[in-house]
Homo-oligomer: A and B are copies of this chain.
Amino acid sequence: MARRRDLHGQQERLSAATWAVLAEQGLPGLTLRAVAERAGCTTGMVLHAFADKRALLVHAREVLHDRTGVRADAAASTAGTPLDALRAVLLQAASTSAEKREEARVWIGFLAAALADPALAELHQRYNRSFVDRIGRLVAAVRPDWGRAACATAATTLVALVEGLNALAAVDPDTYGEPAQRSAIEAALARLNAG
């Protein structure tokens, strides 16, 4: 035996580098050499931690989902009423800050990559459905009198709204700034409370 490495730590660092490159250079600039340079290593090291480029992308996508998941949990747990919890989770998923907007760019990059890679598309479907389910449960907590179908419809609507806000804010942060996103979400929630 000789020196052992922290494989998981390396993979996580490389995934972080992937996000950074994706946010700064976009999907066309996402090359192994760019990721390696960003992580402070060489392409050889990258392909020792991952079998190929697709494996790197898949891992980066998975870790991104995990991170957003724990952030959503944290947002929901600090809220008082069910409506507050729903609002907190939605606002946390929106891109109301420069950092969040950068994350939205990463999101779009993965989305575009998923259109050409079935493995990423499958991940995107599964992760998105789990988010819809999460929102659906929060909606059901806000409106216990609603049926399952009504909650599901409201959930897909809310998720689509947040997804659209992120996509638009990523390319036009002036039109879709923090107040615009907040008021859009607030309006959708108001309808949920009144309907």
**A156 to B178 alpha-carbon distance, docked (Å):** 12
16 extra interface residue pairs, beta carbon distance < 8 Å, beyond A27-B115, A108-B115, A156-B168: A27-B116, A28-B113, A28-B116, A105-B115, A108-B112, A109-B112, A111-B112, A111-B167, A125-B175, A128-B175, A153-B183, A157-B187, A160-B184, A164-B164, A164-B167, A188-B191
Q: Is A161 an interface residue (CB 8 A)?
A: yes
Residue of B nearest to A169 (CB): B160
Q: Which of B27, B153, B154, B160 contacts A27 (CB 8 A)?
A: B27
**Are B154 and A176 within 8 A (Cβ)?**
no
Given contacts A156-B175, A157-B188, contact A26 B108 (CB under 8 A): no
Interface residue total, chain A, C-beta cutoff 8 A: 48
Please provide the 7 A-B residue pairs with the shortest distance between their CB atoms, ordered closest to farther: A26-B116, A164-B164, A112-B112, A160-B164, A163-B164, A157-B184, A191-B191
Counting every copy of the chain, the complex holds 2
A180 at the interface (CB under 8 A from B): yes
Contact string, A107-127, partner B, CB cutoff 8 A, digits 1/0? 011011111110001001100
Q: Is the interface of A mostly helix, strand, loop or mixed?
A: helix
> Which of A112, A153, A180 has the largest number of chain B CB atoms within 10 A?
A112
Chain A contact residues, CB within 8 Å of chain B: 25-29, 105, 108-109, 111-117, 121, 124-125, 128-129, 132, 153-154, 156-157, 159-165, 167-168, 170-172, 175-176, 180, 183-184, 187-188, 190-191, 194-195
- Are A172 and B124 CB-contacts (below 8 A) given A154-B187, A164-B159? yes
A selection of 9 A-B contacts at a CB cut-off of 8 Å is A25-B116, A26-B116, A112-B112, A128-B168, A128-B172, A156-B180, A157-B183, A163-B168, A187-B191
* C-alpha spacing A125/B169, complex, angstroms: 10
> Are A184 and B171 CB-contacts (below 8 A) given A26-B116, A113-B28?
no
